[in-house]
Amino acid sequence: MIDISKYDKLLEDLKAMLFSERKSRKLNRIEPNFYKNIHSLFVELTEEKDRVVSSDITEYMEITKLLDEVRKNFKAFFQVRFEKIGKYSVYDEIEEYLYNMSPEEKNIMKELNAQMKGYYDDFTGITRQTEEIPEMPEEEKTVEEPPEKTITEPEIEEAPVAEEMVLVRIIKDQPPIAQPDRDYYLHRNDILYISGSFAKMLSSHGVCSYIEKGKKL
């Protein structure tokens, strides 16, 4: 069974880094292996989630929730961090900013800086001249017939087929479960309509039972 507490600690560290990066105008010091650790974290959680999907729905939902939290906070951190890196990349001298960066960030910074210098040289240099197109002699000019307009019928998109909804009774309390339509908060003896695929997954884990249509509750 996965040790959720270990990953909770990593998530709290990531949130602290995000908060600190937002408060600072400059780039904060980052560990050289930060992005490698983040990649390993995503891989481990995804593999663990896939492993328990058919055996333990409670643990599956806990890992899914944790994975979503890590992804959300890392995306926010990435956006704040690289907004600063993008700003510094337009400067002529970037060495002073490289000190607090990871190896991956240094490579990206140098690539961006080289591209920005190239764009600047394009805008300020006299390297591109427009060639004049010689005019055709009068007798060689031809009048082109306008192309015939063809009327095409608009394509009719087929409406997606709505999944059948089934009525079920919840047998035992469950943690929040994320589904494409919304998040579900299921409690024992709840009676509700849910999609057939969702009901099949819950039923296979003994979480719900089907209620026949027209049956008195």
Q: Given 124, 147, 182, which residue is the final one in a domain?
A: 124
Give residue-wise pLDDT tens across range 161-198: 567 888 888 898 888 887 877 778 888 888 778 888 88
The structure tokens listed for 104 are 């991956």
Which one, of 202, 178, 205, 204, lies nearest residue 190 by Cα? Answer: 202
The whole-chain average pLDDT of the chain stands at: 82
Domain count of the chain? 2
Within 10 Å of residue 106's Cβ, how many Cβ atoms? Answer: 17
Quote the domain boundaries for residue 58: 4-124
Q: Supply the pLDDT for residue 125.
A: 83
User: What CATH number is given to the structural domain containing 113?
Assistant: 1.20.58.1030
What is the pLDDT averaged over residues 24-30? Answer: 92
Q: Given 75, 102, 124, which residue is the final one in a domain?
A: 124
Q: Supply the pLDDT for residue 97.
A: 83
Give residue-wise pLDDT tens across range 3-16: 777 788 888 999 99
Q: Same domain for 196 and 91?
A: no
Buried-state track 32-69, b at ≥16 Cβ within 10 A, e below 16: eebbeebeebeeebeebbeebeeeebebbbbbbbbbee
Q: Same domain for 91 and 9?
A: yes
Find the Cα–Cα–Cα–Cα dihedral 178, 79, 30, 7, rounded to 10°: 0
The pLDDT of residue 27 is above 70? yes
The pLDDT of residue 207 is above 60? yes
Reported pTM = 0.56
The pLDDT of residue 74 is above 60? yes
Q: Same domain for 103 and 203?
A: no
DSSP type of residue 66: H
Find the Cα–Cα–Cα–Cα dihedral 65, 3, 173, 170, rounded to 10°: 70
Q: Same domain for 45 and 107?
A: yes
What is the distance, to the nearest Å, from the Cα of residue 92 to the centroid of all Cα atoms in its chain?
Answer: 33
DSSP type of residue 20: H
The pLDDT of residue 217 is above 80? no
